[in-house]
Amino acid sequence: MQNLKQLHQEFLEHIEIEKGRSLKTVENYDRYLRTFFDFVTNEVGQTKASDPKIITDDIVRKYRLYLNRKNLKKKTQNYHLIALRMFLKYLVRKEITSLPPDRIDLAKVPERQLELITEEETERLLDSPNVKDGNLQGLRDKAILELLFSTGLRVSELCSLNCDHIREAKSGEFSVRGKGDKIRVVFLSDSATQAIKNYLDKRGDMNEALFTRIPKSGKVSNKTESRLTSRSIERIIKHYAIKSGISKKVTPHTLRHSFATDLLSNGADLRSVQSMLGHANITTTQIYTHITDKHLRDIHKAFHGKGRKKYKKS
């Protein structure tokens, strides 16, 4: 009989090969499951911890208490439980007796709070880079901001873009590979197209990356390691938010939120926005609807309390 250590490794290979998950996702599942197996070993000892049958309702209940008492956020606790549930589903597939995966219930999390900036703040942010005199860094940062707001790209998707993605774009649209290795089409606004053109026209290098580090010399290196990382983009956005006088926390994801709310508040339908954001489930997109419905206040004002007014007049 296979032990949990062997099954753990096989599971990771399964989600990488058969499921096609990214290496980062595989690493996360590995980390979450190691936390669980370490906990089980401490509870029952090394010998018993190798048997898949040791995963019981009682063990999972104690594990949930353990995670909660580590003061982890409910969302983070759920990541651990989702990894365990996926592993148990794999055991079912292998016809190995263990706890049924549907016995794992996720913790209830509070409704997600969105970090939003106003339209006026968005405009200030987009206009904040210094593009005078063909400043390459300013042109690059302007292109980053305009592209994020125009497409709603995730920061990881932005970092992975190459110059060819833009050069081969037809009618202001191109394809990106997003979460779950899914491909979707994104669209460039006129201002984003112009900002990227200004930036690329100033570049005189052969580096394939669209967004790269710019040395003090002003000349972009052809080395692949010069590609900007997600952390670099976050620092750039934070810099310009402060420069724009925005007191709220602003991240690349804030511009993704701004992209979605801008579309919905101007009449776009939820399904279209879901496709443009690359959301697998429309419930993820629905977090924006209560913010962007401009008509609710007017409806309340127009129709609420009419009976009371008539009563007071009589």
Q: Read off the tokens for 247.
A: 């007191």
Active-site residue flag, 253: yes
Which one of the listed residues 154, 227, 240, 257 is annotated catalytic?
154
Q: Read off the tokens for 8.
A: 């753990």
Active-site residue flag, 74: no
309 phi, psi to nearest 5 deg: -65, -40
Which DSSP string do the residues of 210-236 spell out, in sequence order?
Answer: SSB---TTS-----GGGBPPHHHHHHH
Active-site residue flag, 165: no
Instruction: Determine the Cα–Cα distance for residues 201 and 134; give it in Å rounded to an integer.
Output: 10
3-state secondary structure 275-299: HHHCCCCHHHHHHHHHHHCCHHHHH
Active-site residue flag, 179: yes
Which one of the listed residues 8, 85, 256, 257 is annotated catalytic?
256
Which one of the listed residues 89, 165, 203, 253 is annotated catalytic?
253
Which one of the listed residues 63, 90, 240, 288 is annotated catalytic?
288
Which one of the listed residues 14, 227, 257, 279 is annotated catalytic?
279
Taking Cα atoms as reference points, which of 256, 231, 251 lies closest to residue 241? 251
Instruction: Determine the Cα–Cα distance for residues 84 and 90; give it in Å rounded to an integer.
Output: 10
Which one of the listed residues 179, 184, 203, 213 is annotated catalytic?
179
Query: What is the end-to-end Cα distance of the chain in Å, rounded?
Result: 84
**Contact present, 65 and 38 (Cβ < 8 Å):** no
Among all residues, which ones are annotated catalytic? 154, 179, 253, 256, 279, 288
